[in-house]
Amino acid sequence: MDNFPQTLTSKLTDLETPVLVLDRDRMDQNIQKMRSNLARFSVNFRPHVKTNKSIDVVKNMLGDTSGAITVSTLKEAEYFSAHGFKDILYAVGIIPSKFDHVIRVRQAGTKLIVVLDSLEIAQALGDKAKQARTSFDVMIEIDCDGHRSGVDPESASLIEIGKALVAGGQNLIGVMTHAGNSYNCRSIDAIKKMAMQERDAAVRCANRLRDAGIACPTVSVGSTPTAMLADNLDGVTEVRAGVFVFEDLVMAGLGVCGAEDIALSVLTTVIGHQKEKGWIITDAGWMAMSRDRGTSKQPVDQGYGLVCDLNGELLSDVLVVDANQEHGVIAHRSGDPAKTPDLPIGTMLRILPNHACATSAQHAQYHVVHRDSFDILAVWARFRGW
């Protein structure tokens, strides 16, 4: 059994910790910010739902299930298809062992788009389509920044893959790219340049395919930093972004949001002290926070998370400096024990995460509250696994 969901108690203060808390007002504000930002351009929004893995969060983002979404696993595709989504991009390279799973999801009436970046897979998909008497919706993945997968925008293989897909009877939806290196940028200007690089690569590939006589209707780009800071999306038809919905300390470190925008936190309780060391021990270790130390590569390392009081207000320069499986160690950034706040055993705190996708993945549900309120509005389930 995945977990024993806590019964719906009325207040955060009634909960057994650690648990995941979602500030609905901050989330709604983040959604609004992304939407009004993208409204400057003529693009569709295809949010990445891997961050939240929750139909309740996605319905808040899109209103209903008629829109397009991006997923990172076929289980996500299945789940969101079962909840009514009909236009889903599975944005992790497809492999033959998953073709049957894709067909099963498509049989439910969902347009499930797969991505690939090699002739080998394009041909294998063609063989499968012939054998199963079907066709697939496909996007070619482009490597815009050397981050991970994708074809080089100038490579001959782009056209070879496009031709193989068309010859095999597949529906070539277009090209997609993800500027994952935007997470390593060190200035707003660098993110803006990365956004341009992401756009240029995707549009260049779409035009190369078109010049070769291959239709390429969709040009899909996106990461939260580039989606928030792009100045020009000419030629782009859709934008994907995921972590923006909650935001996190990595995004705050990049300057994409402020720590006060982060909607997700882990509620924890003080279980002890090592006063001479200036440590406060809590029940939120890395199982509750995740092992993600994304801010360790940034100019300001936030440890395993920044500490807020129960209201979600940041304590000045207090962070989770270390984490064992079920123990968190909180201290002042300076390491000076005299500066560690006096927080008796039983004090409840909220920890802002480095990486919202990773921290939420440690939990089975969101306890939803309004900003500055302990009242629990709802408990939203999220799912795990593949």
Q: Which residues bind ligand PLP (CB under 6 A)?
A: 48, 51, 70, 91, 178, 222-224, 240-244
Q: 140 pairs with which residues across the strands?
A: 116, 175
Taking the least distance from each CB to ligand PLP, the nearer of 52 and 302 is: 52
The nearest distance, CB 233 to ligand PLP, in angstroms, is 15
- Say whether 308 sits in a helix, a strand or coil: strand
- Say whether 20 sits in a helix, a strand or coil: strand
The dihedral sign for the CA sequence 159, 164, 169, 175: negative
Taking the least distance from each CB to ligand PLP, the nearer of 216 and 349 is: 216
Taking the least distance from each CB to ligand PLP, the nearer of 223 and 265 is: 223
The nearest distance, CB 78 to ligand PLP, in angstroms, is 18
Taking the least distance from each CB to ligand PLP, the nearer of 34 and 267 is: 34
How many whole angstroms separate alpha carbon 13 and alpha carbon 330? 20
Taking the least distance from each CB to ligand PLP, the nearer of 6 and 44 is: 44
Strand pairing class (306-308; 348-352) = antiparallel
Taking the least distance from each CB to ligand PLP, the nearer of 8 and 95 is: 95
The sheet with strand 87-90 has its strands ordered as 44-45, 238-239, 218-221, 171-177, 137-142, 111-116, 87-90, 68-71
Taking the least distance from each CB to ligand PLP, the nearer of 214 and 358 is: 358
The nearest distance, CB 34 to ligand PLP, in angstroms, is 9
The nearest distance, CB 176 to ligand PLP, in angstroms, is 7
The nearest distance, CB 325 to ligand PLP, in angstroms, is 26
For residue 386, give both structure tokens.
């593949």
Taking the least distance from each CB to ligand PLP, the nearer of 243 and 331 is: 243
The nearest distance, CB 333 to ligand PLP, in angstroms, is 26
* Beta-carbon contacts of residue 373 (< 8 Å; ≥ 6 apart): none
Strand segments (E) across 227-358: 238-239, 264-274, 279-282, 306-308, 314-323, 328-332, 348-352
* Beta-carbon contacts of residue 127 (< 8 Å; ≥ 6 apart): 168
The nearest distance, CB 18 to ligand PLP, in angstroms, is 24
The nearest distance, CB 91 to ligand PLP, in angstroms, is 4
- With beta carbons less than 8 A apart as the criterion, state whether 14 and 267 touch: no
How many whole angstroms separate alpha carbon 304 and alpha carbon 315? 15
